[in-house]
Amino acid sequence: MSERKRTKIDTLSQKQLAALPFFIAAQSIEAACKSAKVSRTVFYSWLQQDVFRAELEKLRAQAITDALAYLKNGIAGAVEKLLTLLESKEESIRLRSAQAVIDYYLKVVNAEEIERRLTMLETAINSKGIKPWTQ
């Protein structure tokens, strides 16, 4: 029988593995501890363990990635609805939707300008052979 390779997550206890989802979904540490049936002291001692902390950070990052993907999936429908509201019979609705369209457009233009400037700065820094400040 071949012995399977032991991974870092294998070093977590069953209680730690069972508690991790509570610390991703809860509104607060206190609520997560209560739901996971662990004390705050135990949770903070777990955070001192590199493997637990790394797994918690990985799961939190995945939750954020999943939430952003969910938002991205709904954006086309939201924009379509906003543009449809521009044709509303109610003038106040047309005005608010027009303002929203303009506001969002300006935010996108601003973000694109910032991205363009950052790219220019990075190009200038790289051409001078200066090491970037990132790790």
Domain presence at residue 5? no
**pLDDT profile of the chain (135 residues), mean per 10:** 54 94 93 96 96 95 94 92 96 96 95 96 87 63
Number of domains in the chain: 2
**Domain endpoint, select from 35, 56, 77:** 77
Interacting residues of 85 by C-beta distance below 8 A, sequence separation 6+: 93, 94, 96, 97
Q: What is the pLDDT of residue 1?
A: 44
CB 88 within 8 A of CB 94: yes
Tokens of 26: 């809860």
Neighbours of 47 (CB within 10 A): 13
> DSSP 3-state assignment of 46?
helix
> DSSP 3-state assignment of 44?
helix
**Domain endpoint, select from 57, 77, 97:** 77
CB 23 within 8 A of CB 43: yes
- How far apart CA 59 and CA 121 sit, in angstroms, is 33
* Widest CA span in the chain: 75
The DSSP code for 120 is H
Give the domain range for residue 103: 86-130
Q: What is the pLDDT of residue 66?
A: 95
pTM of the model: 0.59
- Alpha-helical regions (H) of 48-133: 50-85, 91-127
- Amino acid at the residue 3: E
Instruction: Classify residue 82 by burial, with Cβ atoms within 10 Å: 0-12, 13-18, 19+.
Output: middle
Domain presence at residue 1? no
16 and 69 assigned to the same domain? yes
Q: What is the pLDDT of residue 2?
A: 47
27 and 71 assigned to the same domain? yes
